[in-house]
Amino acid sequence: MKLSGFSKYFLIWAKIIYYILGNYKTNILFKLGYFKTNNGSTHFRFNSISDSLKYINQVFDDYLSFAEISVKDIKGKNILELGPGDNFGVALKFLIAGANKIVCLDKFYSNRDVSQQYQIYKAIRDELLPEEKINFDNIVKLDSQAVEFISDKFEYIYGTGIENALNVLSPTFFDMIVSRAVLEHIPDLDATFDTMDKLLCTDGYMIHNVDLKDHGIFTSKGLHPLTFLSVSEKIWKLMTSYNGKPNRMRIDYYRRKMEELNYKYRIKTIHITTLPVIEEIKPQLQSQFRKMLSEDLMPETIFLIAKKRNKNNS
Ligand SMILES: C[S@@+](CC[C@H](N)C(=O)[O-])C[C@H]1O[C@@H](n2cnc3c(N)ncnc32)[C@H](O)[C@@H]1O
């Protein structure tokens, strides 16, 4: 159904007010030490354990295939996973593949269903080869519906965002930093890349999947997928500065940042908004987006694969 001009205007402002209130509520709760959120409760929303397994395997396989590395390349590595959400299946896969250590760092604590989590880890174990099961049992204890991570190869830190991670992690410790659907939730990406650069060792990799869409803020009400780029920067900040809603950075930002940090990098676009859909709304976008090449507004999901160069630039 096509919305009239008035209905659109009303819906947009209703959403803006709703998100501004939610943003400040999140900030107050976070300052009071309440880190729980449904952001990242990915598995909680799945209908079956097989959906969870499929997701975990897909996320892990994507890291390897987009970075063009194999399981062998993971052996002995120290890995940082940003924003794991409500499950550590991907981290487990890295450890079973031979990683030396994995740290899962999350600003929030994603709400989770304890009995579902038990079933997921059990299903991960059931899929493993006998020698991998031994490895699994050295990392996770599954006992009467409870899950306990018992190895110091695994660490979960929540309550600290990646922007402030140097308060809790050591510089140059990591060989790899990975994330799925996380960077778009962080308001200060300059601080985030700065920190990740310090945490990575020379020749270390970053592999990030970034979702550039509006995360349903306006599209859930049938509005154009780029409506969120028509909101002024000031209002967008009021709506999103604390609650992990999308930061609106486009592909050009990631390119610029990688050049600035002198990384060797590739950005692969996975899904796009088509040109006619972009042209339909482009005149109404905020000037920083209006000035951009339409091609740079097309990517909806990207993979950034970047390697920290050594001092000789190789
Ligand atoms: C959409 S969820 C993705 C969860 C998981 N990676 C997945 O694929 O299901 C985004 C995650 O990023 C986390 N997050 C948000 N801001 C963060 C920050 N500044 N530092 C680290 N993690 C953050 C959220 O708490 C949440 O777990």
Residues 193 and 302 in one domain: yes
Tell me the pLDDT of the chain averaged across its residues.
95
Indicate the SS3 state at residue 6: helix
Looking at the structure of the chain, the number of domains it has is 2
Is residue 84 a part of any domain in this protein? yes
CATH number for position 155: 3.40.50.150
Residues 27 and 107 in one domain: no
Ligand 1 pocket test, pick from 167, 185, 194 with the greatest ligand atom count within 8 Å of Cβ, gives 185
Residues 154 and 8 in one domain: no
Is residue 313 a part of any domain in this protein? no
Cα–Cα dist 41/25, whole Å: 19
Ligand 1 pocket test, pick from 39, 183, 199 with the greatest ligand atom count within 8 Å of Cβ, gives 39
Residues 172 and 296 in one domain: yes
DSSP state of 181: S
Q: How confident is residue 145, by pLDDT bands cut at 50, 70 and 90?
A: confident
Domain that holds residue 27: 1-34+226-245
Is residue 219 a part of any domain in this protein? no
Q: What is the pLDDT of residues 201-218, one digit of tens each?
A: 999 999 999 999 999 999
Question: Is residue 312 pLDDT above 80, yes or no?
Answer: no
Please choose, from the candidates 80, 153, 142, the residue with its C-alpha nearest in 3D space to the C-alpha of residue 117.
142
Q: What is the pLDDT of residues 66-106, one digit of tens each?
A: 999 999 999 999 999 999 999 999 999 999 999 999 999 99
Phi, psi of 153, rounded to the nearest 5 degrees: -75, -15
Reported as type and span, the H/E element at residue 37 is: strand 36-37
Indicate the SS3 state at residue 22: helix
Residues 130 and 196 in one domain: yes
DSSP state of 143: E
